Chains A and B, each alone.
Chain A
């Protein structure tokens, strides 16, 4: 499902003395079945864009197209439910959305809201729980008895259980331990690869951007500053640093090599690219 923003402006508290514009003429397209990263420093409007992706906010001016549905400021709230099923959002620290008595009921809550029968919803919940790596024996526990990492998994499972076509993730790994972080990110990547889900990732972590995303949208002060693939964006390193966005760990290491006098056109962004680059260089040097 394709999502596109057409000249979207958005004001917070429109029509009050506290009116504040958050988005200025935002225009971009997220293609069907893609892995998109939205980056930009704090307060740039990422979260505002995110809430437009399933019509939690409606544009003050302009249009948002979600699949074949058009959303503008006149769209009635009643027609939004089908959209919410297609676009699942995992908010920052999603564990704060848990409320049911048991883990399994909480995961099944989403599907039931969209008309799935209780029996089917519980079955879906069971499968999704396995997918996010939750043990069978926690399913009947209260979500408030779990550890932080497990709660996060339950919350994410709750969104995945709605079987959305597009999955929006707002800093899904913030506050997780390193292994949990890798597990999570790999799971999302599998969903993208194997289940054909579109993924939209909002993050500050440039490693994740370089490792997974194919398409990056840079937001600055409520405007789209740049779009393109990670390769294109990180080519202009000074521009990225100027926007306070930084670079991936592998790329930082690589720039140290360049400082030491390595001459090359390559610009590896991920650890894999960096290692294969170094191996190639090493073999080249040995051959001579």
Chain B
């Protein structure tokens, strides 16, 4: 159940995309999601898809990983697309029943929404599949650095992020372990009435919280024992460095944006 989640998984590799600086990847992904909203006709969407496929090809990760990434979100997509399809007015009306109607505008809009979803999911999956969570946290720290001027606790935020990223799999394992132990003691998950199902969560949540507290205590002690005193005056082990690949991405992104602006209707 828990291991179906693809988001946040990293796949080791040595492709063009893997070698990019994580700051570039993070910014490029955000930028890409932003410019998706520039697209408003078939040509522009085709261009975006071509770009995404090029990125997937460069990452050397099999396409079915991305299909699996879309699957858990399928119902949300279908729901939104359905709403667009049945409640948009305008253009030729093909079918009408009270206020539900299928129109040509509706179909086109639904297609656009669907493509937007797919593009956003695929691009963010690509980011997490090719970037180790820790370097993602590093890059967030680097990007937020300027905010230190306005007394924003960038280092603390980055530290919390990297600890959180680091402990997601550990806590997932822990949750799975506790779940198994409680199932062995006769707890049924996902069965019975809503009240029963909520009650069945308590035997997982309480131990999970307790173990998180204990872990936090141990971790903070271990950090202090190793001389951690906050962000001031710390040096870095993993130094982020821009290379010429990152320039290619910058150029590609600019070209894509200009093409989109030119081609949009």
Contacts and interface: CB of A to CB of B under 8 A. Distances in A.
Interface string B164-177: 00000000001001
Contacts of B186: 81, 84-85, 110, 113-114, 162
B68 interface: yes
B203 A99 contact: yes
Contact of A18 (B3, B178, B211): B3
A104 interface: no
Nearest to A87: B184
Interface in A183-227: none
B245 interface: no
B187 interface: yes
Nearest to B205: A99
Interface string A64-87: 000000000000011001001100
Nearest to A91: B181
B207 A96 contact: yes
Interface in B58-84: 62, 64-65, 68
Interface residues of B, number: 26
B177 A91 contact: yes
- Interface bracket on A: 20 to 34
Contacts of A28: none
B62 A17 contact: yes
Contacts of B62: 17
Contacts of A16: 3-4, 68
Contacts of B182: 97
A142 to B, nearest CB: 11
Contacts of B191: 77-78
B184 A84 contact: yes
B65 A99 contact: no
A179 to B, nearest CB: 25
Interface string A124-144: 000000000000000000001
Given A16-B68, A17-B68, A109-B203, A56 B184 contact: yes
Interface string B228-265: 00000000000000000000000000000000000000
Contacts of B184: 54, 56, 84, 88-89, 91, 159
6 contacts: A18-B9, A77-B191, A96-B174, A97-B185, A99-B207, A113-B187
Interface of B: 3-4, 9, 62, 64-65, 68, 174, 177-178, 180-188, 191, 202-203, 206-207, 210-211
Given A56-B180, A89-B181, A96-B177, 12 more contacts: A13-B4, A16-B68, A18-B3, A54-B184, A78-B191, A84-B185, A91-B177, A96-B210, A97-B178, A97-B185, A97-B203, A110-B185
